[in-house]
Chains A and B, each alone.
Chain A
């Protein structure tokens, strides 16, 4: 089925370790997003890419970096994981500049930092 694919689904890291979360979409969407979801706090935007070749900070970018590898792929990197980064991470994509379109989300990566 068409959509947004995230890998891995689960990950446990030790404090200080690094990892990259992968995201790919096959809907030819221009814009892609990384969110984190914590209990009672909804979805908070980490970074986004309005179009291929551009990336911008969202609400909570500290401790993260992103790469828009091509139109399909947008990765999120944790250089030195901290327990505060324990969360569920969602990647999403959408058409650019079309306010009536919603976001299509992946099924998430559950990350635990110990």
Chain B
């Protein structure tokens, strides 16, 4: 079974703080995605990264794909209460393959 490990599992911070969430595997991904899920809703795609070393920015969110394509990180600058939610990474180990999801990071940003 291919595993995708996310850390930390829970994160509670104050508004304005920075944070980083990690996603790691022992296998190489062909592509990796990050999703955000709000309570009572399904996950929503934030970004897809494909190339080793790739960095993508979405407003205050910065996504990085590791050079070896085995890991990824999500960095949030100056977190806001609206960033609260469950963040999931998901990877494909081959082109066209099924997505494998990490267990998620539950983020709470307090005003």
Contact = CB atoms under 8 A, between A and B. Distances in A.
Contact of B50 (A44, A100, A104): A100
A2 to B, nearest CB: 14
B44 A105 contact: yes
Contacts of B88: 42-43
Main secondary structure of the interface of B (DSSP, over half): loop
Interface stretch (A14-22, A64-72, A91-99): A91-99
A74 interface: no
Contacts of A98: 96
Contacts of B4: 42
A108 to B, nearest CB: 6
Contact of B42 (A4, A42, A58, A59): A4
A47 to B, nearest CB: 11
B103 A42 contact: yes
Contact of A107 (B31, B33, B40): B40
Contact of B35 (A48, A100, A101, A102): A102
Given A58-B98, A100-B48, 17 more contacts: A42-B6, A42-B88, A42-B101, A43-B43, A43-B101, A44-B101, A45-B98, A99-B92, A102-B35, A103-B45, A103-B99, A104-B45, A105-B43, A105-B44, A106-B42, A107-B42, A108-B40
Interface of A: 4, 33, 35, 40-45, 48, 58-59, 90, 92, 96-108
